[in-house]
Structure 1
Amino acid sequence: MTLSLRSRLTALAVGAVAVAVLGVALTSWLLVRGKLNRDFDDRLQSAARVASATTSPADAITVLLEDRGRGPRRGPSTLIVQFVDRTGQIRGASGGPTFPVSARAAQVAAGMMPRVTEEVVISDDPYRVLTVARQGGAAQVAMDAEEVENTLAELGLWHGIVGLVGVALAAVAGWLIARTALRPVDALTAAAEDVARTQDLSAGITVSGTDEIARLGSAFNAMLAALGTSRDAQRRLAQDAGHELRTPLTSLRNNVELLIHAAEHTRDLPPDDRARLLADLRAQTEELTTLIGELVDLSTGDRSPEVEEPLDLADVVGPAVERARARAPKVRYVTEFAPAPVLARPVSLERAVLNLLDNAAKWSQDGGVVTARVSSDGWWARVDVDDEGPGIAEADVPHVFERFYRAAAAKSLPGSGLGLAIVAQVAAQHGGRAVAGPAPGGGARVSILLPLADVS
């Protein structure tokens, strides 16, 4: 069974308090036991010194009881004095019954040891016996240790009761603290469940403070905003794609139906009409292929698995120019390269540069010149592509990088209106931007600006 986070936090709090209480209680009990035993041993040694200086056990008991007269009253059975000769034989006892002389006590009586402390049981009660040497043998003093043991047992009981109460209070406090601390998490969970149920990405949670829970809430709201933006972009892309695909598909279907109609009625089209129709089909198929490829590039560009690597922009622009020459052999390409180190994805960046070159070639006359220039400007590395076409109308400049946007002058030219949108997307993915405007020598200039890389 898996416990909830609240239960686990409560259990952790209870466990921590229980360990702390156990440690404190055990330490306290050990300290008190040590103090009680030291005090008991001090009294026992004091009594043994008195007994060893007297002539008989009875005299020793009398002196000891007189010395303790001002203290708490004790019955005679709590203190027993016993004398032993050098052979280990008992020569007299007072205060209670005699008790056996152990081998170690006999060694003290024989002068082999100065003293020895032992635990014995006398009349079913625990006693502590101190044997000390005296003239002619040894004196043994036995004191009832039951009081010390009872005190320690009572102290242990109270420690246990207080510890249990402390653990119980810790459980309640831990549960209350966990509930309070996890209230923002509950709100976050409810918001996530609500989003999953309603698909409403505009919902969010109220964030207050700057702690970890607040940061989690802010991250959740940022995630919802990013998902909402992504879904809106996908919706717009799907709507725009459906609109743009409708025209070439309709034309393609009409041409195919015309061919089918001619075949069904066993009528051959005139050679010129048939050639023109097949050429239209090929052009429409190529247009659809290009459009679908660009749509795929736009839809997957943000999730490109390509890894960024350090390179010089000329290493990307050069191959792109060679590909553009093969596509538009009637246009002359001129390159001007200067060092411009960047951190980039070479494949996607080359595709973006190729789109710039294709766009420039589309607006150029046969024999026209397209200039591809690589340079650095302050903090930026630049790719500038200039053509000798009619340029970009001032009203069209703000829209040239929008998806499917085509200026009025471009309606008769091939293209899907996605090439420059891909350029802008690739530039943004690299932390840069795409700009368009007039070229210094006439025509249009479209540029990609990327952050310069640190060559050191």
Structure 2
Amino acid sequence: MSLRLRLTLYYGLVLVAFLLLSGVVVYGVFHAALHQTLDESLQETAILTAAEIRLGTASDGGSSRLQNRLPGVTALTVYDAQGRPLWQLGEPWVEVELKTGFLSVQGTRVYNHPLPDGGVVQVMRSQQEAVNTLSRTQKTLLLGLPVLFVVALGVGYLLADRSLRPVDQVTRLAGAIAASGRYGQRVPESPGQDEMARLTRTFNAMLGRLERTIEREKAFALAAAHELRTPLSLLQGRASLSLERPRTPEQYREALAEIARTAEDLAQVIEALLLLARTHAPFEPEPVELDLLALEVQEQLEGLAKERQVRLVLELEPTPYRGHPFTLRTAIANLLSNAIKYGPVGGRVWLRTRREGARAVVEVADEGPGIPPEQLERLLQPFQRGAGTQGVRGAGLGLTLVMAIAEQHGGRLRLEQAPEGGLRARLELPEP
């Protein structure tokens, strides 16, 4: 059974219950109102008769006025204190005890009103008119409710069909994308701010993000294939050249050393690619102190800093965070090693950690020549390196990996000109 029919049936069941309840309430209210009107009419007639009796006009001209005020089939009788009828308008058709208040006898409503001298004014009226009116009301409800139910079901189906039309569009588009692989298509967005409008906007946003991710992965795969081809070609060429003719032991050692360096570079690229792929996997956040991670990284890269004669300046504030310790350590290590390798020899590099509101920040800055602003965005792409990096070993994946780790934690990586004159890299991590 389709969702439209299920929604219509659920709507119909709710509507049946509502209509039945409404019909019962309407009938009950109308029933009470009719009987209350009848009782008020009888009571008003009895009070008016008692007033005529006090004025002494009930037996002459007042009787004609009372007759004109008696609604429908009504009988009025005045009894003395001994229960003998003094006079009457109309013939009573039931005998009722002269007990003060309202009584219902054989389809007749009776009201006995006491007089000051002990007498009673008795007014009775047939309830047949009220019964007939209630019967007509009951028939109208019994005939009208099914018609309303059928009409409401039709309207409910039309509304369900109209409401679910965007879902059909999403379903058809998802099927078309699955069949053709063309992820550039989009669903027509529903107007307004209701659930269907949010569904179409969210679905289109998801498709847009998937398209960007797929295109980025395709470009990354092409770039990776190109970058891996170069060291492999060097390995093959160097090995082939060494095997063309007999070489001296020294020449073999040189060839093997070059092959080892190339293989090491290739291994670093593959390791970076594997780590980059792992950043897309979900993880369970763990408590971590970013300042302690930064201190570990500084100790790990102290040898590289001494080799480049770089002085590391630590400004580490307590920075608790919840994240993936291994990838965060890798991100800090990449930022710091880049600053050491690509900064000026004998310069300074600043490593800072701190809290900025709800964010944890890791900042690395150097005092080198810096990078032109128009090149900053390019450096975040895979296998891209800045000018002046010739002679420095690396594959150009460090900043790409840091950006992926930042996105893995819901944060971002910002590159900007540092006040010290060089490049400043800010790893901004929001609370998970």
Which TM-score tier does this pair reach, normalised by the shorter chain? Answer: 0.5 to 0.7
Task: Report the equivalent of 2:100.
Answer: 115
Task: Report the Cα distance in structure 2 between the residues aligned to 1:326 and 1:363, rounded to whole angstroms.
Answer: 15
Task: Report the equivalent of 1:38.
Answer: 40
Alignment of 1:253-292 (within 5 A): 283-292=261-270
Moved more, 269-278 or 408-417: 269-278
Does the alignment pair 1:449 with 2:426?
yes
Task: Report the Cα distance in structure 2 between the residues aligned to 1:71 and 1:333, rounded to whole angstroms.
Answer: 115
Question: Which of 405, 410, 414 does residue 433 from structure 1 map onto?
Answer: 414
Task: Report the Cα distance in structure 1 between the residues aligned to 2:338 and 2:386, rounded to whole angstroms.
Answer: 13
Task: Report the Cα distance in structure 1 between the residues aligned to 2:367 and 2:284, rounded to whole angstroms.
Answer: 29
C-alpha contact 1:401 1:424 (8 A) present in aligned 2: yes
Task: Report the Cα distance in structure 2 between the residues aligned to 1:96 and 1:363, rounded to whole angstroms.
Answer: 119
Task: Report the equivalent of 2:56.
Answer: none
Task: Report the Cα distance in structure 2 between the residues aligned to 1:41 and 1:350, rounded to whole angstroms.
Answer: 94
Question: Which of 208, 211, 224 does residue 225 from structure 1 map onto?
Answer: 208
Cα displacement (A) at 1:34? 2.1
Alignment of 1:36-435 (within 5 A): 36-43=38-45, 68=67, 79=75, 95=91, 99=95, 105=97, 115-121=100-106, 126-130=107-111, 143-207=125-189, 209-212=191-194, 213-249=196-232, 283-301=261-279, 305=283, 307=285, 315-326=292-303, 330-338=307-315, 347-359=326-338, 368-369=345-346, 371-374=348-351, 382-385=363-366, 399-405=378-384, 414-426=393-405, 430-435=411-416
Alignment of 1:12-23 (within 5 A): 14=15, 18=19, 23=25
Amino acid at match of 1:201: Y
CA RMSD of aligned residues (A): 5.6
Amino acid at match of 2:401: I
Uncovered stretches (5+) of structure 1, i.e. residues with no partner: 52-59, 109-113, 262-267
Task: Report the Cα distance in structure 1 between the residues aligned to 2:269 and 2:367, rounded to whole angstroms.
Answer: 24
Uncovered stretches (5+) of structure 2, i.e. residues with no partner: 54-58
TM-score with structure 1 setting the length: 0.64
Give 3-state SS (helix, strand or coil) of 1:373's partner. strand
Going from structure 1 to structure 2, the CA distance change for 1:160 and 1:33 (only over 3 Å counts) comes to farther
C-alpha contact 1:341 1:452 (8 A) present in aligned 2: no
Task: Report the Cα distance in structure 2 between the residues aligned to 1:98 and 1:421, rounded to whole angstroms.
Answer: 103
Cα displacement (A) at 1:47? 7.7
C-alpha contact 1:308 1:343 (8 A) present in aligned 2: no
Amino acid at match of 2:215: D
Task: Report the Cα distance in structure 2 between the residues aligned to 1:306 and 1:190, rounded to whole angstroms.
Answer: 36
Post-superposition Cα deviations, 1:46-85, rounded to whole Å, max 9, x if no partner, equal: 789999xxxxxxxx9xx989953787785xxx75979899
Task: Report the Cα distance in structure 1 between the residues aligned to 2:120 and 2:377, rounded to whole angstroms.
Answer: 115
Cα displacement (A) at 1:224? 1.2
C-alpha contact 1:82 1:98 (8 A) present in aligned 2: no
Going from structure 1 to structure 2, the CA distance change for 1:187 and 1:13 (only over 3 Å counts) comes to farther
C-alpha contact 1:342 1:450 (8 A) present in aligned 2: no
C-alpha contact 1:85 1:137 (8 A) present in aligned 2: yes
Task: Report the Cα distance in structure 2 between the residues aligned to 1:38 and 1:393, rounded to whole angstroms.
Answer: 95
Going from structure 1 to structure 2, the CA distance change for 1:8 and 1:329 (only over 3 Å counts) comes to farther
Going from structure 1 to structure 2, the CA distance change for 1:127 and 1:338 (only over 3 Å counts) comes to same
Task: Report the equivalent of 1:264.
Answer: none
Cα displacement (A) at 1:317? 3.9
Task: Report the Cα distance in structure 1 between the residues aligned to 2:373 and 2:350, rounded to whole angstroms.
Answer: 23
TM-score with structure 2 setting the length: 0.67
Give 3-state SS (helix, strand or coil) of 1:383's partner. strand
C-alpha contact 1:21 1:166 (8 A) present in aligned 2: no
Task: Report the Cα distance in structure 2 between the residues aligned to 1:144 and 1:407, rounded to whole angstroms.
Answer: 105
Aligned length: 409
Cα displacement (A) at 1:321? 2.1
C-alpha contact 2:11 2:156 (8 A) present in aligned 1: yes
Structure having the higher Rg: 1
Moved more, 225-234 or 279-288: 279-288
C-alpha contact 1:207 1:217 (8 A) present in aligned 2: yes
Cα displacement (A) at 1:372? 1.7
C-alpha contact 1:360 1:370 (8 A) present in aligned 2: no
C-alpha contact 2:309 2:347 (8 A) present in aligned 1: yes
Give 3-state SS (helix, strand or coil) of 2:265's partner. helix
